[in-house]
Amino acid sequence: MKASRLLMPTLREAPAEADIISHILMLRAGLIRKLAAGVYSYLPLGIKVLKNIENIIREEMDKAGAQELLMSALLPAESYQKSGRWDRFGDDMFRLQDRNKRDFCLGPTHEEIFTETVIDSVHSYRDYPFTLYQIQTKYRDERRPRFGVMRTREFLMKDAYSFDISKEGLDDSYKAMYQAYKNIFDRMGLNYMIVDADSGAMGGSGSQEFMVISDVGEDTIAYCEKCRYSANTEKAVCLSGNKSTEEMLPLRKVSTPNAKTIEEVASFFGKHEDSFVKTMIYKAGDKHVAVCVRGDREINEVKLSNLLGGDEVSLADPDDVVRITNAKVGFAGPFGIGIDVICDNEVMNMRNFIVGANETDCHLENVNPERDFTPSIVSDIRLISAGDICPVCGGEIKTAQGIEVGHIFKLGTKYSESLGLNYVDENGKENPVIMGCYGIGINRCIAAIIEQHSDENGIIWPAEAAPYKAVVVPVNVKDEVQMNLALEIYDSLEKAGIQVIIDDRDERPGVKFKDWDLIGIPVRITVGKKAGEGIVEYKLRSEKEYSEIGSKEAIQKAEAYIL
Ligand code: ATP
Ligand code: MG
């Protein structure tokens, strides 16, 4: 490719709309342009990267024995109505009607459609197992599209679905995808962690996320360096800790005028927040519950929702809190509250703590659960934090931010049961098919790679992802000797099957170098004054130094590096 023919609108300045490195560099390097919030166009260099990522994924999925197919993005409502997700997706789903007023959506994910396709295709146990996948556009009307292509409303996903007739079969299919994902993310040059993930209240038996470690990641990962336990904090297990050996003191009501927040109450009593138990009133479906955790802890709403059967949970309206507690907001407690009390497991091991008294300006001191009240449910419902105890080995938990690039999930029979995907076994009996699903966000992978591979001059692509692998830069395009040698190198690289650019633009070398550093081409071969002696400059984007070597050697080195 000649640089003079390439649409590569690089920008010198960081555009105001972008605030993270990958977004800034994708705009500056001319990979993408924004059309609307969470909607992007891919320019020629951008689509090359996208295709490279697709190819890595396609190769590894094929190698793992999965079969590619392609579903429509325009999908009839009925499929999602049957599974219940037409309602559950809410405003996240892009909906539309055809000319006959029939409801459709733009597919946010395709479990239903794959399941129905298999229903229509095979029936006997002999036809199983198999894994299907597609690389296709998804639509989600995200509440907060942001960070460039990291979270968009239209994005490419590789979604795969496995179909088995035994639990062991599902385990094997899941393992094959797990290994394929490792190969995929290794080839992308990503530094990632594989973490236990939440699988919802009824969402099957196992789920893991592939998290790219990055400060801009929206997920928090809890991990232990000692035993390598790692989990999304949504999922990470919190232990109850040791039982306090303090003597139980007499229960006491204390007047606490104007102290409402946990900080205010703590300073009133002159105690640390961990001497308190806070009680939060939640709305879960159509009922209310009181949730108690230690004063310095956070409630994990994902765990709470799972505990309550998958209902969406949110903090109760202040009016409801007043009605339920018979007090102003800020004085809720577990005593005589008239709704179910859910206690975090840690609270049960505490002694002599302070709670709200369900009476304005009053708290109760020296509360002891084994003596004073019985919760309706005791469970792990708090969010893990750095410094907590590892649930596996007792080591110390650390936390890091992660970008979720992939998710693998044992669905079990959730969709086969709701949609009626059965196989007929050897005895002529019908049983539900056991499914798994496996997603990778393709656009998000590009952003994640850049977050981990850049410097002050621009992107540093791992060779497999790079839009072009090498660039040949004649310093003076009007110098015939330089231009001829540059073309010779260009031709041999191209013949070797390397995607290569020749920078035939009549620009100063500094301008050219800046562009290729920004775009992140892995290998640069500069042909300058020593062209007559057959000597060129060979430089890798990932290294600061260049070497002066013969043109033949430069070609060999480039081939060895790229191929
Ligand atoms: P998130 O929690 O980030 O919203 P998700 O749990 O909704 O992700 P899945 O439904 O599991 O994601 O989708 C599979 C993959 O698709 C994710 O691992 C992620 O890489 C990608 N993905 C999901 N939503 C988006 C989006 N809005 N923009 C770009 N990629 C996305
Ligand atoms: Mg999402």
Note the pLDDT tens digit of each residue in 19-64. Answer: 999 999 999 999 999 999 999 999 999 999 999 999 999 999 999 9
pLDDT at res. 180: 98
- Residue 87's contacts (CB-CB under 8 Å, 6 or more residues apart) are none
Count of CB atoms situated within 10 Å of the CB of 547: 13
Asked whether 45 and 519 are in contact (CB, 8 A), the reply is yes
Question: What's the rounded mean pLDDT across residues 223-228?
Answer: 95
Query: Taking 80 as the threshold, does the pLDDT of residue 205 lie above it?
Result: no
Indicate the residue type of 71: M
Instruction: Please indicate whether residue 136, judged by its CB atom, sits closer than 6 Å to ligand 1.
Output: no
More confident residue, 258 or 322: 322
pTM attached to this predicted model: 0.93
Query: Taking 80 as the threshold, does the pLDDT of residue 397 lie above it?
Result: yes
pLDDT at res. 203: 53
Distance CA 264, CA 284 (A): 28
pLDDT at res. 413: 93
Q: What is the per-residue pLDDT across 491-516, written as a single tens digit (0 to 9) for each?
A: 999 999 999 999 999 999 999 999 99
Ligand 2 center from residue 171 Cα (angstroms):
25
Phi, psi of 386 (to 5 degrees): -55, 135
Count of CB atoms situated within 10 Å of the CB of 372: 14
Distance CA 196, CA 90 (A): 27
Query: Taking 80 as the threshold, does the pLDDT of residue 204 lie above it?
Result: no
pLDDT at res. 201: 61
pLDDT at res. 202: 53
Buried b (16+ CB within 10 A) or exposed e, 488-520: bbbebbeeeebbbbbbbbebeeeebbbbbbbbb
* Percentage of the chain modeled with pLDDT above 70: 99
Q: What's the first-to-final CA gap in the chain, in angstroms?
A: 18
The secondary structure of 181-223 as a DSSP string is HHHHHHHTT--EEEEE---TTTS-SEEEEEEEE-TT-SEEEEE
pLDDT band at 199 (very low <50, low <70, confident <90, very high): confident
Nearest ligand 1 atom to alpha carbon 151: 28
Q: What is the mean pLDDT of the chain?
A: 95
Question: What's the rounded mean pLDDT across residues 170-197?
Answer: 97
Instruction: Please indicate whether residue 208, judged by its CB atom, sits closer than 6 Å to ligand 1.
Output: no
pLDDT at res. 310: 83
pLDDT at res. 560: 97
Instruction: Please indicate whether residue 110, judged by its CB atom, sits closer than 6 Å to ligand 1.
Output: no
Instruction: Please indicate whether residue 32, judged by its CB atom, sits closer than 6 Å to ligand 1.
Output: no
Ligand 1 center from residue 336 Cα (angstroms):
43
Distance CA 266, CA 354 (A): 9
Question: What's the rounded mean pLDDT across residues 359-375?
Answer: 93
Query: Taking 90 as the threshold, does the pLDDT of residue 312 lie above it?
Result: no
Ligand 1 center from residue 441 Cα (angstroms):
6
Instruction: Please indicate whether residue 475, judged by its CB atom, sits closer than 6 Å to ligand 1.
Output: no
Instruction: Please indicate whether residue 537, judged by its CB atom, sits closer than 6 Å to ligand 1.
Output: no
Question: What's the rounded mean pLDDT across residues 229-240?
Answer: 94
Instruction: Please indicate whether residue 404, judged by its CB atom, sits closer than 6 Å to ligand 1.
Output: yes
**DSSP H helical ranges for 64-154:** 77-83, 85-88, 111-121
Choice from 210, 404, 438 to test ligand 1 binding pocket (greatest atom count within 8 A of CB): 404
pLDDT band at 240 (very low <50, low <70, confident <90, very high): very high
More confident residue, 540 or 373: 540
pLDDT at res. 260: 80
Instruction: Please indicate whether residue 140, judged by its CB atom, sits closer than 6 Å to ligand 1.
Output: yes
Q: What is the per-residue pLDDT across 423-478, written as a single tens digit (0 to 9) for each?
A: 999 999 999 999 999 999 999 999 999 999 999 999 999 999 999 999 999 999 99
Instruction: Please indicate whether residue 203, judged by its CB atom, sits closer than 6 Å to ligand 1.
Output: no
pLDDT at res. 553: 98
Distance CA 526, CA 537 (A): 5
pLDDT at res. 272: 94
pLDDT at res. 258: 81
Phi, psi of 458 (to 5 degrees): 150, -155
Name which of 108, 111, 60 is nearest 437 in CA terms: 111
Ligand at shortest distance from the CA of 441: 1
pLDDT at res. 213: 97
* Percentage of the chain modeled with pLDDT above 90: 93
Instruction: Please indicate whether residue 407, judged by its CB atom, sits closer than 6 Å to ligand 1.
Output: yes
pLDDT band at 165 (very low <50, low <70, confident <90, very high): very high
Question: What's the rounded mean pLDDT across residues 311-322?
Answer: 94
pLDDT at res. 263: 87
Of the CA atoms within 13 Å of residue 506, those in its CB half-sphere come to 2
User: Which residue is associated with the tokens 């009501």?
Assistant: 253
| CA of residue 531 relative to chain centroid, distance | 49
Give the C-alpha distances (Å, rounded to integers) separating 444 from 10, 15, 29, 100, 351: 21, 20, 17, 37, 47
Q: What is the per-residue pLDDT across 269-286, written as a single tens digit (0 to 9) for each?
A: 999 999 999 999 999 989
Nearest ligand 1 atom to alpha carbon 153: 27
Question: What's the rounded mean pLDDT across residues 65-94?
Answer: 95
Give the C-alpha distances (Å, rounded to integers) separating 422 from 74, 234, 413, 425: 26, 33, 10, 9
pLDDT at res. 55: 98
Nearest ligand 1 atom to alpha carbon 409: 11
**Helix 480-495 / helix 551-562 crossing angle, nearest 10 deg:** 30
pLDDT at res. 361: 94
